Amino acid sequence: MLTRSFMTPETNKDLLAYTPMFHARMFSEGAKYRTEHFEPVRGTLASPPDSYHTSQMQDSDWYLDGHKKLDRPLFVQFCANNPDELLAAAKIVQPFCDAVDLNLGCPQGIARKGNYGAFLQEDWDTIYKLINILHKELDIPVTAKIRILDSREKTLQYAKTVLSAGASILTVHGRQRDQKGHNTGVADWSMLRFLRDNLPPDTVMFANGNILQHDDIAQCMKETGVDGVMSAEGNLYDPSIFGKPPPMGQEGREYWRGRDGEGGYRMDAALRRYMDIIHRYVLDQEPPQRKPLFLPSDPVEEPEVTEKEQDEDNREDGPPPKKKQKRKEDRAKGQREKCTSPNLTVMQPHLFHMLRPLVSKHTHVRDALGRVRAGDIDEFERILSLVEEATKEGLLEYEKNGEASFQTDQEKAKQEEGRDPESLATLARCKRPWFICQPYIRPLPKEALAKGALMLSKKEKARLEREKEEAEKSGVAPEGRVEEHKEVSNGEAKVADIPKEGLVCG
């Protein structure tokens, strides 16, 4: 809903939303799990689904997920490795969505442990059965998302297997399974173009990967020939990514444009929209009356300090609470009713993504967001006021000093240290002041390796030493090699490949 709010009423129906990935067995067997993840109606979603006849439901019967006016089109996404469990889950959501999607792209450790997502990609027989049972038994289409494999021919055959099982839409993430974390790297659009050119012409295909800004959507469609473009992480950091920027001179109070003509939506504007949606559609109440967003042309007023904020400031200035007192406070917090609404429990992690550059600079906002409890709307409103004040500060700073006010030479040197030229070009293209919604640009694998975020294994170090010795003897430097490395940033070693040449950041 937040993303669609940045689009016009005529274009926001072009936006297809996917739910988060649900675990099929847990969804089909657990009423509590369904309540905490999917709310097309108020209360617990019943099973079997025969009790819901959506054609006879009134507007007041619908809640949020799959709402026929607010949340369509919608695909519900599952992970699974058992066809019967997947079918049982799919039948529950069938009345409230337009298709069921099988996620075969999740590369996380939990997917490895549970044997689903991208860790099924060698088991084509199981994949075929999972898709085919939905194709035969559901009244709505089944779709699937995959990752590319290590060769074009193998990826093409994989895609054909998924389509032959009955998938109506194929989404392809242009990265391999091991491309995650510091090894995320760049999605391979040329592989997507190869699939587009070699799959049947009537195949409906979506692309995923490298979508950092609105203009990347059209560029991706041009280079790959796909029918649609998916953005997950990019949309979390910048919810306006699918909306066109306003014309020059029509920015208003929500959209900021710099002296170079580039711009983006302000974080205080995006957070206001977010909070208004929560008030209106989740809490069923009108949002609070708010002052117009600040513009540098407005008269500058001293910020008002509420009694609550004054009390908190006084408390923060005093000595920290004793251990016994802290334990007592923690127990009191634990006794409060736990918030389970899926619309409220995700607010804190979502806002950490959306506000990332701002909270990195204004650590008091970061700390306040870190302390907030799910469902505490008053505290989220307080965070909104802090973000508005920080944005006001940033706007005035820009008016005074321009771009130079947002990055010292030392900070710039630290950011550019070890960066690849193409990566720096991407940073320059996408970088906005810290109070503007913007993508998170990960370092390339070889940059992470240079900074020590990735470490070569002993085996790989020995191999490189041998190659170096052989090259010195022959007088020819080894070119185009693939380096194996281990990712150790999270304490768990993982083997992956880093292309030595040909990396392009986008």
Which active-site residues does the annotation give? 106
Residue 100's SS3 state is strand
Dihedral sign from CA coordinates of 83, 86, 90, 91: positive
C-alpha to C-alpha distance for 112 and 389, rounded to whole angstroms: 44
Residue 210, CB-side half-sphere exposure with 13 Å CA sphere = 28
C-alpha to C-alpha distance for 234 and 216, rounded to whole angstroms: 11
Instruction: Give the type of residue at 129.
Output: K
Q: How many CB atoms are located within 10 Å of the residue 145 CB? A: 26
Note whether 435 and 266 are within 8 A (CB). yes
Note whether 159 and 199 are within 8 A (CB). yes
Give the containing element (helix H, strand E) for 368. Answer: helix 363-371
Angle of the 377-401 helix axis to the 267-277 helix axis, nearest 10: 160
Q: What is the DSSP string of 146-206?
A: EE--SSHHHHHHHHHHHHHTT-SEEEEESS-TT--GGG-----HHHHHHHHHHS-TT-EEE
Quick one: tokens of 411? 């900070």
Quick one: tokens of 183? 């090894």
Quick one: tokens of 68? 């026929």
C-alpha to C-alpha distance for 23 and 43, rounded to whole angstroms: 20
Across the chain, how many H-helices and E-strands are there?
Answer: 22, 12
Q: How many CB atoms are located within 10 Å of the residue 28 CB? A: 25
Phi-psi region for residue 402, left (φ > 0), alpha (ψ -120 to 50) or beta?
A: left
Provide CB contacts within 8 A for 232, sequence distance 6+: 208
DSSP conformation class of 98: S
DSSP conformation class of 475: T
